[in-house]
């Protein structure tokens, strides 16, 4: 079994990670096509030691391709995903274009793999902050439904792409050299700073990233009533998101039970040693598949053990994006 695969957005930070993960996991790619916008056409990228020339997405004939991994932004996805799906391609789309479309499954394989059963040729990959929160919260929610969540994020530059990661590095160097800096990829200085997430603030006072975390989680968990308040903040970290998560339950949820559940939960690695102050950190989550979870504790502000608090960290480019998409592809094209 081998799958004719096309990657849209291969030159981006997530595209780069698609190639690495497909190779690492030995995903059975038979013919790999790398697609990009006109200005990147002709560039070359390596996959399994072989060079691939980037082709123009606008001129590509989708017929014959079985799997499309898309990460080129919502407008490209809106343009190309329906065409690809019409030609029989199954598209796993990392953009926000189709996530809230009721006909399109929004999937985290550890959470709602069953939603893959009926798809119209497009499956949406959730927002990175949503995934990194949902992976550790889901096994707890399944044991004892979460009533309300309060989350604060510490988001890496990678969520804004390769240019933003480079800006963090270059700008930090400039600040250390005493030079004045001029933010470009981000609206504000990121070096030795942090700022409220750089997405538009909606009518309800929450920014797009925060609203994604609410509405996507409701869809993925099939929990239309779950209440979530998040504050999304960009920090001077390269590529893993950290999240402080407070959970409220109707029924008591003893800390020991949460710890037991998380210790065997799929996609989760518990990093929680109080004695040595060893807890999830973004530099440790970087390059790893599981979401690291620690600071597991009974929330002292809730009565009768009805609250839990956690700290989670996950690689934004891997589980937050490319890895989750490839895991979806693995479920769609199971090996014999």
Please give the residue ranges that form the binding site for its own copies (CB under 8 A): 148-150, 152, 154, 168-169, 172-173, 176, 187-189, 192-196, 198, 200-201, 204-206, 214, 227-229, 231, 233, 235-238, 242, 244, 246, 255, 274-275, 277, 279-283, 294-302, 307, 309, 311
Residue listed under structure tokens 């053990």: 305
Q: Transcribe 168-213 into DSSP letters.
A: HHHHHHHHHTT-----SSSSS--TT-EEE-SSPBPTTS-BHHHHHH
Nearest residue (CB) to its own copies, 69 versus 128: 128
Nearest residue (CB) to its own copies, 11 versus 171: 171
Q: Output the smallest distance, CB 293 to its own copies, in A.
A: 12
Q: Output the smallest distance, CB 249 to its own copies, in A.
A: 14
Our CA dihedral for 18, 22, 28, 34, rounded to 10 degrees, sits at 30
Q: Output the smallest distance, CB 214 to its own copies, in A.
A: 7
Nearest residue (CB) to its own copies, 96 versus 198: 198
Q: Output the smallest distance, CB 180 to its own copies, in A.
A: 13
Q: Which strands, in side-by-side order, build the sheet including 3-8?
A: 55-56, 29-36, 3-8, 67-70, 90-93, 122-124
131 φ, ψ (degrees, to nearest 5) = -60, -50
Rounded to 5°, angle at Cα 82 from 130 and 25: 55
Rounded to 5°, angle at Cα 211 from 210 and 212: 90
Q: Output the smallest distance, CB 61 to its own copies, in A.
A: 41
Nearest residue (CB) to its own copies, 5 versus 155: 155
Region at 182 (left for phi over 0; alpha for psi -120 to 50; beta for the rest):
beta
Q: Which residues are catalytic?
A: 128, 241
Nearest residue (CB) to its own copies, 37 versus 298: 298
Q: Packing angle between helix 13-24 and helix 162-176, nearest 10 degrees?
A: 110
């Amino acid at each position: 079994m081998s799958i004719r695969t096309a990657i849209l957005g291969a030159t981006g930070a997530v595209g780069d990670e698609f190639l690495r993960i497909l190779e690492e996991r030995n995903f059975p790619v038979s013919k790999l096509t790398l697609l990009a916008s006109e200005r990147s056409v002709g560039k070359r990228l390596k996959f399994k030691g072989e060079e691939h020339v980037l082709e123009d997405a606008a001129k590509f004939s989708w017929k014959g391709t079985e799997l499309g991994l898309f990460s080129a932004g919502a407008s490209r996805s809106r343009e190309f995903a329906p065409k690809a799906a019409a030609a029989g391609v199954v598209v796993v789309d990392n953009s926000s274009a189709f996530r809230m479309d009721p006909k399109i499954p929004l999937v985290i394989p550890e959470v709602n793999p069953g939603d893959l059963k009926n798809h119209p040729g497009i499956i949406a990959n959730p927002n990175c902050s949503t995934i990194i929160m949902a992976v550790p919260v889901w096994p707890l929610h399944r044991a004892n439904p979460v009533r309300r969540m309060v989350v604060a994020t510490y988001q890496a530059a990678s969520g804004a792409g390769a240019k933003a990661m480079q800006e963090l590095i270059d700008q930090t160097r400039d600040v250390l050299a005493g030079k004045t800096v001029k933010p470009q990829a981000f609206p504000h200085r990121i070096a030795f700073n942090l700022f409220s997430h750089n997405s538009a603030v909606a009518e309800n006072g929450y920014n797009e990233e925060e609203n994604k975390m609410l509405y996507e989680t409701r869809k993925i968990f099939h929990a239309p009533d779950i209440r979530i308040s998040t504050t999304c903040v960009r920090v001077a970290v390269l590529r893993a998101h950290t999240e402080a998560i407070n959970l409220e339950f109707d029924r008591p949820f003893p800390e020991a039970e949460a710890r037991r559940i998380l210790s065997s939960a799929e996609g989760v690695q518990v990093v929680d040693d109080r004695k040595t102050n060893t807890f999830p950190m973004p530099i440790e989550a970087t390059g790893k598949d599981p979401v690291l979870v620690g600071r597991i504790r009974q929330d002292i502000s809730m009565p009768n053990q009805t609250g839990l608090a956690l700290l989670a960290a996950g690689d934004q480019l891997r589980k937050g994006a490319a890895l989750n998409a490839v895991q979806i592809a693995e479920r769609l094209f199971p090996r014999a």
